[in-house]
Structure 1
Amino acid sequence: MTWLAGLRRRVRPLDPTGLPLRPARLRRVGAYTALQFTRGQTQSRMLGDAPDQLLIDYTRTMLAALLWQPRPRTICMVGLGGGSQAKFIHRHLPGARLEVVENHPGVIALRREFQVPDDDARLEVVLDDGARFVATRPGRYDLLLVDGYDAGGIPAALSTVAFHDACRNALRPGGVLATNLFCVDTAPHLERLRRSFGAGNVLVVEEPRMSNQIVFAWAGVAPAGDAADLARVRAALPAAAHAALSPSLERVARALRLRGVGVQVDA
């Protein structure tokens, strides 16, 4: 029995390309459920009584991508995690189809523990390599949300010029990418994004109280971030969703306005 237990500990899950992964672990503390790959490092967190609530600030900031596309038809998410954004989108954006690609079979196996809805006409969760998945879907998405992390940080496959080119190509005209940069040297990532999208089509927004930067990169013209843009998003969202996102929408809108008058906003 001890030998079998030790063998199970040594056998690691594999991603779709054959690379070994740390096991995905579930941890419950009080009313909260967390996803971890390494003890003490939380990848996602859910409040059991409100499973689609966006508890972590940066997840709300990423959804300020709605300023570019208030009524998206098709959304791609790279990285399921605990499914916070997936659940929020599925509940509050009934006109959108969401395609989620996750490379960790253990994460997908925990989807019911995190109350991620079953696949239906508006939601599909796919086990695949995120870079490979995005590269095969040119011109498909209005919003592309990239928050793919493993135990070591951002995977190498999501850190290449080819991946960022594929992200640009996967967007419809007017589409936007929102990506989370956490505790990494952001300069190489920003250089690649500016190379793929154009220097004028990248906006970096610092996350207050966190070590995250949210980067928006788009194909086409950026919104002005004015009252009309905010009104369009308000009209497109249910009241509860707008209330949850309003501070983030206003903060990103302000960054867009400052950008429009030549003020540096990504320092």
Structure 2
Amino acid sequence: MRPLDPTGLPLRPARLRQVGDYTALQFTRGQTQSRMLGGSPDQLLIDYTRTMLAALLWQPRPRSICMVGLGGGSQAKFIHRHLPEARLEVVENHPGVIALRREFRIPDDDARLQVVLDDGARFLAARTARYDMLLVDGYDAGGIPAALSTPAFHDACRDALRPGGVLATNLFCADPAPHVERLRRSFGAGNVLVVEEARMSNQVVFAWTGAAPAGDEASLARVRASLPAAAQAALSASFERVAHALRLRKGHGDA
């Protein structure tokens, strides 16, 4: 019997695949949703996962973070290890993915981490002005689910953020333009930044509710000062790249 999401939608089973030292999460053979290196379980192996965490340029010391989509938990593990002052809530709609959390060495729930089985759109709609940072990377076997592709969902993302909060979302799809336009409608055209992944087909989109960081050396210094050395090293290139995109945006006269 196929697993069901919290709204009753049938899902493909979540499968674990072991290849050498790597553990992968798959819904369809040959299509990897998440990957973990056994000797370094909280390492961010995939470029876009590091780019998304450049949202720290907006919020160097977030107190409350939400993730939509657990997957193999690489970002959740990274945040839990390196941002000890942050409380992280993760909403995942696939019970089979949550059932694999030990295989992916995702820590048990504690005072700083809670993993919830729920529909991501429904979960966010009930949490107004709750988060400093929101990371959206929810995918099923067919790509970005319909429930995470509506104007109402993007409005809920905006409303779930506190003043000055920031959203980072991963877009891996044939036509990202409609998703970007919905974000611009919800957040304002001047409050959206699209960053291409050079070695992948993804785009990472940032959207925010306050002022954008300047992307200058002061912005970079603030975020570096907020992180331990290991996290700085892992994210340094992503900070530089997103800061450069922010400076270019400012130079072109965007608000």
Q: Helix, strand or coil: the match of 1:216?
A: strand
Contact kept, 8 Å, 2:144 with 2:173, in 1: the verdict is: no
> What residue number does 1:81 align with?
71
Instruction: Report the AA paired with residue 154 of structure 2.
Output: H
Whole-Å separation in 2 of the counterparts to 1:119 and 1:79: 16
> What residue number does 2:200 align with?
210
> What residue number does 1:196 align with?
186
> What residue number does 2:50 align with?
60
Q: Helix, strand or coil: the match of 2:177?
A: helix
> What residue number does 1:5 align with?
none
Instruction: Report the AA paired with residue 93 of structure 2.
Output: N
Q: Helix, strand or coil: the match of 1:119?
A: coil
CA change 1:21–1:93 in 2 (3 A) is: same
> What residue number does 1:111 align with?
101
Q: Helix, strand or coil: the match of 2:199?
A: coil
What are the residue-to-residue correspondences of 1:1-267 with 2, within 5 Å? 11-262=1-252
Residue identity (%) = 86
> Which segments of 5 or more consecutive residues in structure 1 lack a partner in the other structure?
1-10
Instruction: Report the AA paired with residue 84 of structure 1.
Output: S
**Segments of 4+ moved more than 6 angstroms:** none
CA offset at residue 208 of structure 1? 1.1
TM-score in terms of structure 1 length: 0.94
CA offsets per residue over residues 162-187 of structure 1, 9 Å max, x none? 00000000000100000000133111
CA offsets per residue over residues 143-194 of structure 1, 9 Å max, x none? 0000000000000000000000000000001000000001331111011000
Instruction: Report the AA paired with residue 186 of structure 2.
Output: S
Greater mean deviation of Cα atoms: 238-247 or 255-264: 255-264
Whole-Å separation in 2 of the counterparts to 1:186 and 1:102: 22
In terms of Rg, which structure is larger?
1
CA offset at residue 27 of structure 1? 0.3
Whole-Å separation in 2 of the counterparts to 1:184 and 1:190: 13
Whole-Å separation in 2 of the counterparts to 1:263 and 1:214: 21
Instruction: Report the AA paired with residue 9 of structure 2.
Output: L
Whole-Å separation in 1 of the counterparts to 2:171 and 2:242: 16
Contact kept, 8 Å, 2:67 with 2:135, in 1: the verdict is: yes
Whole-Å separation in 2 of the counterparts to 1:191 and 1:62: 19
CA offsets per residue over residues 69-127 of structure 1, 9 Å max, x none? 00000000000000000000000000000000000000000000000000000000000
Coordinate RMSD, CA, aligned = 0.8
CA offset at residue 263 of structure 1? 7.2
Whole-Å separation in 1 of the counterparts to 2:227 and 2:198: 24
Instruction: Report the AA paired with residue 108 of structure 1.
Output: I
Whole-Å separation in 1 of the counterparts to 2:7 and 2:77: 27
TM-score in terms of structure 2 length: 0.99
